[in-house]
Amino acid sequence: MNFVAEALNLSKFSAERLFERGILKKAFVKSEVFPDLIDAYRIEKKFGIYEEGTVVIKGKDGLKVVRGFPKIKRILALEAGIKKHFGDREIAVEEKMNGYNVRVVKVGNDIYAITRRGLICPYTTEKVREKIPVDFFEEYANFMLCCEAVGNASPYVADHYGIEGLEFFVFDIRDCRTNVALGIEEKERILRRYKIKAVEILKKCRASKVEEIKRVLEELNSKKREGIVLKDLEMKLEPLKYTTSFANCSDLAYAFRFFEEYSRDFMLARIIREAFQAFEFGYSEERALRLGKSILEAAIESIKKVKSGEEVLETNRLVFSSEKVYEAFKMHLKLLGIAFRELEVKKSERGLEVVIARVMRATTDRVKSLLQGNTW
Ligand code: ATP
Ligand code: MG
């Protein structure tokens, strides 16, 4: 662990203490997908300037600190929030895509994919190598591509876009060590030059053009998209996020389908977001019905499942290039503490096709018990 101390400017003793306290954890499982890695640790909880998800990598080509992706603050009152944070500056309204956060970095001879909490994911790493040109990193060796991974081959988030496989949409280019982000227009130029997919910039305008921003959001809502991230064109101020009614409701459906796995806070936050949006954009029966349905229909579905003798599951279909990558991915899920079941494994011309399911034990047990007449 000496290299962690060296990279973060800590004493060897402090690094060991962090490890004992569970703040510093292993960031990867051994795998042939990771030939350039000698060792890597991640920071589980923000300490000092280092965000949660920061990774320290000892690679064949030296040490690398990859800072965690910063939390984006959310506003609930769109107009007041925009005015308060951005005044009348020039901003970009970017689409907020709903997938999982991936930082792509180069270590040694190849690129590596790090997920939000700082784990180097074997599955995602294999996919980024198919999709992201390594030549970007020849010019920008100390930078990372921060992107959203979406598609029907996502192991962590269901697909909302009709994307086959897994695609990576870059939203920030940041310096790995300082976490400083390039300005929006420079980012756009670079991504265009390297033909790297980016999240859509829906609008660039002065922050005072709130009516126009509201229209962008309504349009996104009708297309069943998640929301927007508002960014200072120069990336000097912190970005803000705001989600559509569709996203609030689909989160609620998810949370109520697996109501024992999800916290009360998660549910309450989404209901309150929707209340603020109804207040600002207008209450309607339609909005009320959408909210109510997303809660009730999802919960009833789980009750019906258990009633018919099944378990409440979340299933995912994934494709791996080889047996070995799949083995590494299973180890990786164990490291994350995710219990899962293999439902189907078959070889096809695409590789190894696997259907795995997360068993929602707590919800299943609770529903079963309540259906038997037990009290809550
Ligand atoms: P946090 O707010 O800490 O980032 P969270 O899990 O609550 O975490 P979300 O509500 O999903 O996150 O919103 C932030 C996430 O949105 C980012 O971490 C990023 O993965 C994703 N995202 C999608 N599109 C964009 C975009 N255009 N710009 C920035 N982030 C984006
Ligand atoms: Mg998200």
197, 181, 189, 190: which is closest to 232 by C-alpha?
181
What pLDDT is recorded for position 349?
86
Give me the phi and psi of 359, to 5 degrees please: -85, 125
Q: Spell 221-249 as b/e; 16+ CB within 10 A means b.
A: beeebbbbbbbbeebebebbbbbbbbbbb
Residues present in the chain in total:
376
269: CA distance to ligand 2 center in Å? 15
Residue list, ligand 1 pocket, CB within 6 Å: 69, 71-72, 94-97, 101, 148, 171, 199, 229, 241
9: CA distance to ligand 2 center in Å? 32
Q: Which ligand is nearest to the CA of 149?
A: 1
Residue nearest (by alpha carbon) to ligand 1 atom 14? 72
CB 23 within 8 A of CB 44: yes
Q: In a structure prediction context, what are the per-residue pLDDT tens digits for the chain, which is 376 residues long?
A: 889 999 999 999 989 999 999 999 999 998 889 999 999 999 999 989 999 999 999 999 999 999 999 999 999 999 999 999 999 999 999 999 999 999 999 999 999 999 999 999 999 999 999 999 999 999 999 999 999 999 988 988 888 899 999 999 999 999 999 999 999 999 999 999 999 999 999 999 999 999 999 999 999 999 999 999 999 999 999 999 999 999 999 999 999 999 999 999 999 999 999 999 999 999 999 999 999 999 999 999 999 999 999 999 998 888 888 888 899 899 988 888 888 899 999 998 888 999 999 999 999 999 999 999 999 9
**Amino acid letter, 79:** E
Tell which atom from ligand 1 comes closest to the C-alpha of 169: 24
Residue 175, C-beta contacts closer than 8 angstroms, at least 6 positions apart: 142, 143, 144, 181
239: CA distance to ligand 1 center in Å? 10
Question: Which of 96, 187, 231 should be mutated for ligand 1, with most atoms under 8 A from CB?
Answer: 96
CA distances to 25, 303, 361 from 146, rounded to whole Å, are 22, 39, 33
Tell which atom from ligand 1 comes closest to the C-alpha of 95: 27
The residues pairing with 359 across neighbouring beta strands, listed in sequence order, are: 313
Tell which atom from ligand 1 comes closest to the C-alpha of 116: 18
Question: Which of 101, 104, 237 should be mutated for ligand 1, with most atoms under 8 A from CB?
Answer: 101
CB 335 within 8 A of CB 319: no
148: CA distance to ligand 2 center in Å? 8
Nearest-angstrom CA–CA distance, 29 and 66? 18
375: CA distance to ligand 2 center in Å? 35
Residue nearest (by alpha carbon) to ligand 1 atom 28? 171
What pLDDT is recorded for position 209?
96
Strands 167-175 vs 62-66: parallel, antiparallel or unpaired: unpaired
What pLDDT is recorded for position 316?
86
CA 290 to chain centre: 25
The pair of three-digit structure tokens given for residue 89, joined into one six-digit string: 């500056």
Residue nearest (by alpha carbon) to ligand 1 atom 3? 71
CA distances to 17, 310, 365, 368, 370 from 373, rounded to whole Å, are 49, 18, 13, 9, 5
Nearest-angstrom CA–CA distance, 192 and 86? 27
Residues 304, 310, 312: CA angle, nearest 5 degrees: 75
Question: Which of 51, 115, 148, 188 should be mutated for ligand 1, with most atoms under 8 A from CB?
Answer: 148
What pLDDT is recorded for position 160?
85
3-state SS class at 14: helix
168, 216, 170: which is closest to 189 by C-alpha?
170
What pLDDT is recorded for position 324?
87
The secondary element (H helix, E strand) that includes residue 335 is: helix 323-336
Cβ-based burial of 265 (10 A; exposed 0-12, middle 13-18, buried ≥19): exposed
71: CA distance to ligand 2 center in Å? 11
Tell which atom from ligand 1 comes closest to the C-alpha of 228: 27
3-state SS class at 41: strand
Give me the phi and psi of 197, to 5 degrees please: -65, 140
Give the strand order in the sheet containing 313-320.
Answer: 313-320, 351-359, 341-348
Residue nearest (by alpha carbon) to ligand 1 atom 20? 101
160, 13, 24: which is closest to 95 by C-alpha?
160
Q: Which ligand is nearest to the CA of 199?
A: 1
Residues 244, 250, 253: CA angle, nearest 5 degrees: 145
Residue nearest (by alpha carbon) to ligand 1 atom 25? 96
What pLDDT is recorded for position 1?
80
Residue nearest (by alpha carbon) to ligand 1 atom 24? 96
The residues pairing with 63 across neighbouring beta strands, listed in sequence order, are: 58
Nearest-angstrom CA–CA distance, 113 and 144? 10
The secondary element (H helix, E strand) that includes residue 280 is: helix 264-281
Nearest-angstrom CA–CA distance, 358 and 337? 11
